[in-house]
Amino acid sequence: MTGFPFGDAACAPFPQRIAIVTDAWLPQMNGVVRTLTATCDLLRARGHDIMVVAPDQFRSLPCPTYPEIRLALPRPGAVAAQLAAHNPDAVHIATEGPLGIAARRYCVAGGIPFTTAYHTQFPDYVARRTGLSPSLFWHYIRWFHRPAQRIMVATGSIRQELRANGLDRLHHWSRGVDLACFTPDAKPPGLFADLPRPIQLYVGRVAVEKNIEAFLACPYLGSKVVVGDGPELASLQARFPQAHFLGRRSGAELAGCFAGADVFVFPSRTDTFGLVMIEALACGTPVAAYPVPGPVDVVTEAVGALSEQLERAIDAALYCDRRACIAYATQFSWEAATDQFVAGLVALDEAALTA
């Protein structure tokens, strides 16, 4: 392994070998996967040699309580062998699962610098599924991320939370939106023509940590539409038969759902960013959400509304100018986000590490 490129060599224009280790990968479809695939595509287009270590390369088993997610079962030393064979200039560990642990072990044992990312409010996520206190899981988060050269985070509120928990080698890595796909001109589903307005839309995993029940139970009049799949789908369909569940959509079909809705409702309290919010905005659809990390960093008064009473947020968001939403979304570029990612791999000096 050549090691991490410091100093002037770090800025050299020649392609670099970058290893990305992730427990979240295709065929999963979520914000983490979309972020990593978009980043890898751009890095390869720029000439970088990218190796992804992902669950599809190993035996796996269903994640308890969430069988759609597969947990990799790599043989001892398998991840280390892949990393050593690739001989990367930089190692980025994207997730805190089995593959991330194996890569962390290899890097720490070999004194190899690496970066991590905090994509998911892991303590809150696990707490919702176990009924235990989130504080119990912060011990694991601190253990996992503390040796990293940098921890990449998408928003200021998450940066504050990590610092409050003793993690301060932080680097800003935002998110982007495919403006060629997510456009107000996308064709809505035919179903939307017959639905009572306003159409209130949720897009994302249909899982307990997404708090979709709060959206579906909200008394605001109109129609509620859910796009996505997950372990809570059957339960929510049974409990909220008046809602419309369209299953998983992607590409132009997903963009049409966003463009045809009157408001996008983001009820999650456990996300670190919420990529679907800027996809909705790019289609001209304002956002209603709780005032929690993710929405407080993304949603402005011009493009949405935040309130602890979700119906108030929905009502206020409906008054937003859709043209303002479209203009605001253009600030989020995958090109710019990828620049930030590459800069995060380059530790120029100790002061930059804690900036």
Q: How far apart are CA 289 and CA 210, in angstroms?
A: 12
254 and 106 co-located in one domain: no
Closest-CA residue to 195 (of 174, 226, 169, 168): 226
- For the chain, counts of helices (H) and of strands (E): 15, 14
pLDDT at site 8: 37
* Position 183 in a domain: no
pLDDT in tens, the chain (355 residues): 544 343 333 444 445 899 999 999 998 888 899 999 999 999 999 999 999 999 999 998 887 766 667 788 999 999 999 999 999 999 999 999 999 999 999 999 999 999 999 987 766 666 666 677 767 789 999 999 999 999 999 999 999 999 999 999 999 999 999 999 999 999 999 999 999 999 999 999 999 989 999 999 999 999 999 999 999 999 999 999 999 999 999 999 999 999 999 999 999 998 989 999 999 999 999 999 999 999 999 999 999 999 999 999 999 999 999 999 999 999 999 999 999 999 999 543 333 333 3
CA distance 209 to 300: 24
- Tell me whether residue 102 is in a domain: yes
Q: Token pair for residue 170?
A: 């932080």
In a domain, 229, yes or no: yes
- Given a contact cutoff of 8 angstroms between Cβ atoms, the answer to whether 291 and 297 are in contact is no
**What is the CB neighbour count within 10 angstroms for residue 208?**
18
238: nearest Cα among 216, 205, 254? 216
Whether residue 198 lies inside any domain: the answer is: yes
Note the helical H segments in the chain.
31-45, 78-86, 98-110, 122-130, 135-145, 156-164, 212-216, 233-239, 251-260, 275-282, 295-298, 310-317, 322-329, 334-345, 350-353
* 24 and 170 inside one domain: yes
The pLDDT, as a whole number, for residue 346 is 59
- Do the domain assignments include residue 59? yes
Residue 182 lies in a domain: no
Read off the CATH number of the domain in which 127 is found: 3.40.50.2000
What pLDDT is recorded for position 348? 33
Whether 88 and 211 map to the same domain: the answer is: no
Report yes or no on 181 lying in a domain: no
- The DSSP letter of residue 168 is -
Tell me how far apart the alpha carbons of residues 283 and 89 are, in angstroms, rounded to a whole number: 38
| 151 plus 18 within the same structural domain | yes
Q: How many domains does the chain have?
A: 2
Residues 316 and 342 in one domain: no
Same domain, 81 and 226: no
- Clarify whether residues 227 and 120 are in a common domain: no
Q: Is 61 helix (H, G, I), strand (E, B) or coil?
A: strand
Task: Verify that 30 and 168 share a domain, yes or no.
Answer: yes
Does 122 lie in the same domain as 260?
A: no
Q: Are residues 235 and 259 in the same domain?
A: yes
Locate 113 and state its tokens.
């610098």
Q: What is the pLDDT of residues 136-180, one digit of tens each?
A: 789 999 999 999 999 999 999 999 999 999 999 999 999 999 999
Select from 105, 8, 65, 60 the least CA-distant residue to 209.
65
pLDDT tens digits for 237-277?
999 999 999 999 999 999 999 999 999 999 999 898 999 99
184 occurs within a structural domain: no
Same domain, 165 and 39: yes
State the virtual CA torsion across 308, 329, 208, 102 in degrees, nearest 10: -130
User: Tokens standing for 310?
Assistant: 């979700």
- Do 301 and 346 fall into the same domain? no
**Structural domain span for residue 79:** 7-176+334-353
Q: Residue 64 burial by CB count (10 A; 0-12/13-18/19+): exposed, middle or buried?
A: exposed
pLDDT computed for residue 119 by the predictor: 87
